[in-house]
Amino acid sequence: MHSSSSTSSFRPTARYPRLDALRGAAIVWMAAFHFAFDLNHFGWISQDFYRDAFWTGQRTLIVSLFLLCAGMGQALALQQGLSWPRFWRRWAQIVACAVAVSIGSYMMYPRSFISFGVLHGMALMLLLLRFAGPRLPIWACCALGAFALMAPQLLSHPFFDSRWTNWLGLVTHKPIAEDYVPILPWLGVLFFGFALGRWLLIHRASWCRADISPKLAPLALLGRWSLTFYMLHQPVLIGLLKLAATMRG
């Protein structure tokens, strides 16, 4: 992967506060979305989260922002010399959390539990990116990303509509699930984030390592603990809403 002399002095453990803050903003947006979803689930509001463009559009933007940050983060980590053992440790954490999400969602939504949500998709997509991304020039990453975005419209087939095959994303209709983030088209967003991160390291290295306003420091801190927050926020929100419902009753 290309690098510039201005970035070669980065320490392997250096943080990129701007990326952390952007990831933190995505986390806050996601939590607000899930809070509204939970309010709807418990009957405090009445919204159609499955068909209303206001809500489905937000979900698309939130997942896109997460995957863009993940792709950029991989570019920056690889530039710093991220080792395979460290990658595998983080990957194992994501896989374990994905399994926990499937189990928890099955207990709450047995008919629409999450079999391939954002963590499942991210685990598999990060593997593909880790193996292929560093071996491709930036333009090829963009071309592959564009193909991934278009693939569901070009290659969909009923064979991929089952729960065992819909993880690829070439479905003819969206499955019934509380979260669904298949490889295609979302791998395209991850590759675009990876390409953007590499471009920034070459052409805007000083921007990558620049400090942020103290007002954004909480977002950056949250962004560094995004997986932990992701796993804890829904149980906390649901618990608080159940408590509020009990008090109201």
pLDDT in tens, 196-226: 999 999 998 888 888 899 999 999 999 999 9
pLDDT at 106: 93
pLDDT higher than 60, residue 3: no
Tell me if 10 sits within 8 A of 80, measured CB to CB.
Answer: yes
Cβ atoms of residues 186 and 67 within 8 Å: yes
Per-residue pLDDT for 118 more than 60? yes
Confidence band for 12, pLDDT divided at 50, 70 and 90: very low
Q: Is residue 10 part of a domain?
A: no
CA distance 95 to 132: 20
Residue 36, Ramachandran bin (φ over 0: left; ψ between -120 and 50: alpha; else beta): alpha
104 belongs to a structural domain: yes
Contact 223, 24 (CB under 8 A): yes
Within a domain: 245: no
pLDDT level of residue 6 (50, 70, 90 thresholds): very low
- How many Å apart are CA 114 and CA 218, to the nearest integer? 30
User: b/e map of 62-79 (b: 16 or more CB within 10 Å)?
Assistant: bbbbbbbbbbbbbbbbbb
Looking at residue 249, its pLDDT comes to 59
Q: Which two tokens stand for residue 87?
A: 């990658």
Which two tokens mark 4? 């510039």
pLDDT at position 14 over 80: no
Q: Is residue 247 part of a domain?
A: no
For the chain, what percent of residues have pLDDT higher than 70? 94
What local confidence, expressed as pLDDT, does residue 13 receive?
A: 52
Q: What is the mean pLDDT of residues 219-240?
A: 94
**In this structure, what are the phi and psi dihedrals at residue 172, rounded to the nearest 5 degrees?**
-90, -15
Average pLDDT score over residue span 109-138 = 95
In a domain, 74, yes or no: yes
AA identity, residue 168: L
Q: Which of 15, 91, 39, 68 is nearest to 187 (CA)?
A: 68
Per-residue confidence band for 9, with pLDDT thresholds at 50, 70 and 90: very low
pLDDT at 243 over 80: yes
Give me 244's structure tokens.
């509020």
Evaluate whether residue 1 is within a structural domain.
no
More confident residue, 14 or 50: 50
- Name which of 12-21, 69-78, 196-205 the model is least confident about: 12-21
**pLDDT score of 53 more than 50:** yes
Mean pLDDT of 116-131: 96
* pLDDT at 1 exceeding the cut of 80: no
In a domain, 249, yes or no: no
pLDDT of residue 160: 96
Determine, yes or no, domain membership for 248.
no
Domain that holds residue 169: 15-240
For residue 54, pLDDT over 60 is answered with yes
Q: How far apart are CA 14 and CA 28, in angstroms?
A: 24
Q: Could you give the number of structural domains in the chain? A: 1
